[in-house]
Structures are given as structure tokens and as C-alpha cells.
A and B are shown apart, each in its own frame.
Chain A
Amino acid sequence: MGAKVITVTSGKGGVGKTTATANLGVSLARLGKKVVLIDADVGLRNLDIVMGLENRIVYDLVDVVEGRCQLRQAMIKHKQFPDLFLIPAAQTRDKTAISPADMIQITDKLRPEFDYILIDSPAGIERGFRNAVAPADEVLIVTNPEVSAVRDADRIIGLLEANNKGPAKLIINRVNPDMVRRGEMMSADDVTDILAIKLIGIVPEDEHVIPASNSGIPVTLNENSRAGAAFRNIARRLTGENVPFLPMNDSVGFFQRLARLFTGQGE
């Protein structure tokens, strides 16, 4: 049956689905896997930008569905990783241009040739979400440690369970360890506790992320980035490896805090 189809979704917008999809795709490719990314956010495509492939789009997902090109022609090969491809979303159409059955058909064609097919879902719980989830073997839910994002994640988890797509796995993105330590942000444990699903990754807030998307080079290619390291770890967990979670500097002592105060250094 070949590739495993993994859909990245969230309910709420702006929590980091596209960033997660891009970085997991690159991280899996770095592990030597054959990977294809599909941007299912028809009408609001962004995965091409985060991947730095926006200037190479000729055909898109809707062109494939409507028979204007072969599947191969819509697959953009990554500059650095020859086994990493992107199928971009159409920008001038809407979610109804594609059906859940179309997504299943496309992924079925891709399965024999790849190890992983990652689908970047749009926000929301409507047609675009249903398209993205239809072919999934596994679903990753991205959330932030904030009340509204966690509430929406819970709704998605319920919908997936009702459609026998569960149990999903959780990525908690943009955790600020300093704020967690001060009690001003829910910890990864708090969020996992509330949502009661399996945690697959904790990604710290990291100033490297925006420059990376500015230049279209996923942050996981930056060896100094803690977020990048977190995404590499999630990719290894997806392949079945048992990788311990990164320490979040939960217990910083008084003198370390004092030293940090004087030197003005972060972690």
C-alpha cells in the first residue's frame, strides 16, 4: 500500500499548520524518505511560499482534478531534496472545486511511489477540512497553548472521532517556556491533559521561524533553531522512532535567572 497519508489540521487558523507541514516534509526528506506535500487550502495557498517554491508553479491541484494536466506535471521538485515534492493549491478557485473523493483518488495514485504524503489542511471544519482529512491514515492536530486554539482543536478531535479518523496526535506549537514557568501560559502537560490525545511534539516559540518563512527556507534546516530541532524530532517520531521530548527549561534556578537578567540572554 506504500505511502502513509498524514493530514495536518487545527480548526483555528494561524496556529502553524503550514509551517508544521513544510518542516515535517523537509525533516522526513532529510531522513531519506520520499515525500510529497499537498496544499489542500484551495483559494488561500501558502505552502509554496513557506517552501520557497512559489515561482515554479505551473499546474496545481485543481488542474489535476479537472484533467488539465497529468499528476506528475503538478508536482514541483524541491531544489535541495530530489525526493521531496509539492502539489500546490489553486489560488483563484475555492474549496468546492475539489471533493473528498478526488483527494482519495489522487493520494491513491501517489501511494505506491512515496513513503509519506503530507496534506496541509485549511482552517475550519467545512469542505476544505473534509477534503484534507478524507484520505488520511493519520491526523496531526496543531494547536497553541491558548484557550481559543485548544477549544477549536477539541472540536476537530470530536469530529475526527465521529468519522472514525481518530485517534489524532497533537503538536503544541509556539510554547514559550519562560511564560510557562511564570504561570502565564498553559504548559504542554495542561493542554495534553485537557485534550486527552497522544502528544507527538512540543515546538517552542522561536525567533528563527519568521526569518525562515521570509526567505522560504523551512526553519528545520537551521541547526541553531530550537523549533527546527522540535520538528526534526516529530519527523523521527512519525517514522516510529522513540525520541524523548526536548527539555523546556522548566526548572531554572535563581542564579541562572539572575545571570540571565544581567547578560540579557535567553535560554
Chain B
Amino acid sequence: MSGFFDWMRGRSPAKNSGTVAKERLQLILVHDRINLPPERMEEMKAEILAVISKYVAVDRDNVDIALQQRNRDSLIVAEIPFSQSHDSDEARRRLAKAADEAADEADDS
């Protein structure tokens, strides 16, 4: 029935298949163009997050790492907010751990 009112007003229903087609294509092509399937992309995201979390506390709920298109160029855009907690002990522990690891590496070489 809502379709009839849409028709009366010359309007299309909220999300029609033309829009779905465009959205699906954009997602397919972004992976096709850099030859990186979605599963590998997820692995890469996890690894990026792991590296950053080694140094700073990350607000994992609000992380946004995505591929984007500008004309025919692809780029990865990451928005990784730091966690709001002012836990200075936590920060100090992280720093100390990172310093230890760096020292270990220096010893190894």
C-alpha cells in the first residue's frame, strides 16, 4: 500500500533495488580494485589495531577503518580514537612494557 502512495507522489520507496545495486557495487569494486578480499581486509584491520594498542589505549568501539575511492584511486582511511580513560597507571605500564620490549630487541641484535 505504501508503494501506491509513493506512486501517487511520484516518489520511490525508501530503499529500492537500484540503490542496493549501487551500494553492493561500490563495496565489490573497492576490493576488486586493490585485489584484497574482505577476509584479508579484516585481518589487516586487526593487525593495525594491535600495533596501535601496543602504544596507546584505543577506544575499540569507535574504530573506523575502511577503503575509500577518489575517482579511480583507492585509499585506506582509518579513524582510531584513543580511549577516554585517564588511567595514568595504565599508560605508564604500557610505556614501561614497550620500553622493555625495545630493550629486549636491542639485546637480541
Q: Which of A150, A157, A161 contacts B25 (CB 8 A)?
A: A150
Query: Which of A124-132, A213-221, A250-258 is found at the contact surface with chain B?
Result: A250-258
- Closest A residue to B24 by beta carbon equals A147
Q: Could you tell me if B32 and A155 are in contact, using CB atoms closer than 8 angstroms?
A: yes
Query: Which of B14-22, B38-46, B87-95 is found at the contact surface with chain A?
Result: B14-22
- Bound complex: CA of A146 vs CA of B26, how far in Å? 13
**A151 / chain B contacts, CB cutoff of 8 Å:** 25, 28-29, 32
**A193 / chain B contacts, CB cutoff of 8 Å:** 22
**A190 / chain B contacts, CB cutoff of 8 Å:** 18, 21-22
Interface check B60, CB cutoff 8 A: no
Q: Number of B residues contacting the other chain (C-beta, 8 Å)?
A: 22
- The verdict on A196 contacting B12 (CB below 8 Å), with A150-B25, A154-B29, A154-B33 known, is no
- Bound complex: CA of A147 vs CA of B22, how far in Å? 8
Q: Which of B16, B19, B22 contacts A194 (CB 8 A)?
A: B22
Q: Give the contact-size bracket for chain A.
A: 20 to 34
- Bound complex: CA of A199 vs CA of B8, how far in Å? 33
Interface check A158, CB cutoff 8 A: yes
- The verdict on A186 contacting B10 (CB below 8 Å), with A147-B28, A154-B29, A157-B72 known, is no
- Closest A residue to B8 by beta carbon equals A254
- Bound complex: CA of A71 vs CA of B70, how far in Å? 46
- Closest B residue to A158 by beta carbon equals B33
**B10 / chain A contacts, CB cutoff of 8 Å:** 252-254, 257
- Closest A residue to B20 by beta carbon equals A147
Best-buried of A157, A179, A182 by chain B (most CB within 10 Å) = A182
Interface check B109, CB cutoff 8 A: no
CB distance from B14 to the nearest CB of A (A): 9
- Bound complex: CA of A257 vs CA of B7, how far in Å? 9
Interface check A187, CB cutoff 8 A: yes
**A266 / chain B contacts, CB cutoff of 8 Å:** none
Q: Could you tell me if A196 and B26 are in contact, using CB atoms closer than 8 angstroms?
A: no
Q: Which of B8, B18, B28 contacts A180 (CB 8 A)?
A: B18
Q: Which of B21, B28, B32, B71 contacts A146 (CB 8 A)?
A: B21
Interface check A267, CB cutoff 8 A: no
6 smallest CB-CB distances across A and B, nearest first, come from A183-B16, A183-B12, A183-B18, A196-B71, A196-B72, A190-B22
**Which positions in B face A, CB cutoff 8 Å?**
7-10, 12-13, 16-19, 21-22, 24-26, 28-29, 32-33, 69, 71-72
A sample of 17 inter-chain contacts (CB < 8 A) reads: A147-B21, A147-B25, A147-B28, A151-B29, A154-B29, A158-B33, A185-B17, A186-B21, A186-B22, A193-B22, A194-B22, A194-B26, A194-B29, A252-B10, A254-B9, A254-B10, A257-B7
Known A150-B25, A179-B18, A186-B22; further 6 A-B contacts with Cβ < 8 A: A151-B32, A154-B32, A182-B12, A183-B19, A194-B25, A254-B10
